[in-house]
Amino acid sequence: MIGGVIMKKYTSIKVIILLFVFGLTACLDDEGNYNYADLGNFYVDTVGIQHTYTIKQFSSFALTPKFIYDGDKSVLKYKWELYKSDEPYIGPSSYGTGYSHDYTRDDYPDYTISTERELDVKIEAIPGAYYLVFTATDTTSGLKTTMDWRLTVEGVIGSGLAVLYKNAGGSDIDIVYSPLFNGSLTETSYNRNTYSTVNPTRPLTGEPKELVSAIYASYDLYYLYMTSGEDVVRLSSIDMSIADEFDGLFAGKIPAVKDLNGIFVRNYNTFFINNGVAYKANSGGLQLTPMAMKNDDYYAVAGNTTWQVNSLFYDGLHRRFIFSKMWSAEIDPVINSAAHFDFGNVGKDLIHWSNGYWQSDNQINYCFFKNPVDDGKRYMYVFVADKSTASAYTSKCAMDISACPDIALANSFATGERGPVVFYATDANVY
């Protein structure tokens, strides 16, 4: 009974208080200002406008929205922003999900590209899909109006032929876009000085030597190696920006001398020759480690990959072939006296080495030699290195090609990858 009496008293007091509060509220005057003003039109007219654009990275882009505003335009401020889309990166080629140069979405935040009424800027965003957002703000009232477009930024490389050449600053790259390389194109165009445009403060001095594509598809890594007689850079295959310079290519001790003799890539592995030392990076790795011989020395002047990811080099010091097994960092001499020549004792100086055509799932190797004391004679050795052991290398021929016109003057060679044909060039002619 006591609990019931207490509860009744509490409830009565609560009701009285509520009634009192409501009574006070009813007595207050409403003194608010409810004079509404007509703000007029304030919007972007979207009738008939283009909603999507595709441009090349580092190209200029201009856009003038049809903007309607009945008020004082002097109080307006503008902003253009580029926001990354949630869609995968798209462009002239299908990139993987890792992307070269270690780009991730968080590495490239949203940013303001202009505060002008009309957009006219160079788009430097990495290739991909974006939202381009225009915002106009009335600084007096705080009102805003926005409009967005879809903008696809394509890489500067695309599907074409990359040409390494010499210019006044050293080495550079032109890209040729042609229906011969890309069936979706209808005419030929050029992207001149691509490397220096993307990297204006980092010229690659010296005579141009090699431009090597390194594709590690299983690891979503795509690079270009650009070398000269004095230097090398690893480039992003998306926008040709520098991913690594010489010092960043090596694990451990950095070579004191830059003397680049060759780069070749196969099955996710990179092989690099600098100052006679062969280097290797396995399984899409990006840092090179030196390769050594037990109880012997060598001076690598060129190399190639063979069956699987075994590597084969020419030792200019002892004028012989040397090799390394898959995943190994150790080099061994080739002990194989084949039908046409002895791999372990060639006895000649190598001029050029390149891949030829495929025969029964094996790629033909062409090597061109001269005598240690140059007497004008030239030789072509052809072989197949298709096994996991060097003892199984098979020679195809060892030809004296000294009778070929101007062969002693040849300074470059090319071998056909679709049939048994060889081209060589002098300063004046191609044969």
- pLDDT value for 368: 98
Spell 203-240 as b/e; 16+ CB within 10 A means b.
Answer: bbebebbbbbebbbeeeebbbbbbbbebbbbbbbbbbb
Q: For residue 279, what pLDDT is reported?
A: 93
Q: What is the pTM of this model?
A: 0.68
For residue 10, pLDDT beyond 70: no
Give the count of beta carbons closer than 10 Å to the beta carbon of residue 133: 17
What pLDDT score does 219 carry? 55
Domain assignments of the chain as residue spans, ordered by start:
42-154
| Residue 108 pLDDT | 45
Query: How far, rounded to the nearest angstrom, does the alpha carbon of residue 308 sit from its chain's CA centroid?
Result: 25
252-267 per-position pLDDT tens digit: 899 999 888 888 887 6
| pLDDT value for 97 | 33
Mean pLDDT of the chain: 81
Cβ count near 354 (within 10 Å)? 17
Please give the DSSP secondary-structure letter assigned to residue 24: H
Pick 4 or 150 by higher pLDDT: 150
Give the pair of three-digit tokens for residue 365: 């190797």
User: Residue 269: how many CB atoms within 10 A of its CB?
Assistant: 22
Which CATH code of 1.25.40, 1.10.3470, 2.60.40, 3.90.1570 fits the domain covering 42-154? 2.60.40
pLDDT in the model for residue 37? 54
pLDDT (tens digit per residue) in 190-213: 889 989 988 999 999 988 999 998
Contact by Cβ (8 Å): 299, 262: no
Nearest to 132 by CA among 62, 182, 169, 80: 80
Cα-based distances in Å from 62 to 42, 65, 149, 324, 395: 22, 10, 13, 55, 61
In which element (H, E) is residue 18 found?
A: helix 2-26
Sheet holding 394-400, edge to edge: 349-359, 362-370, 378-384, 394-400
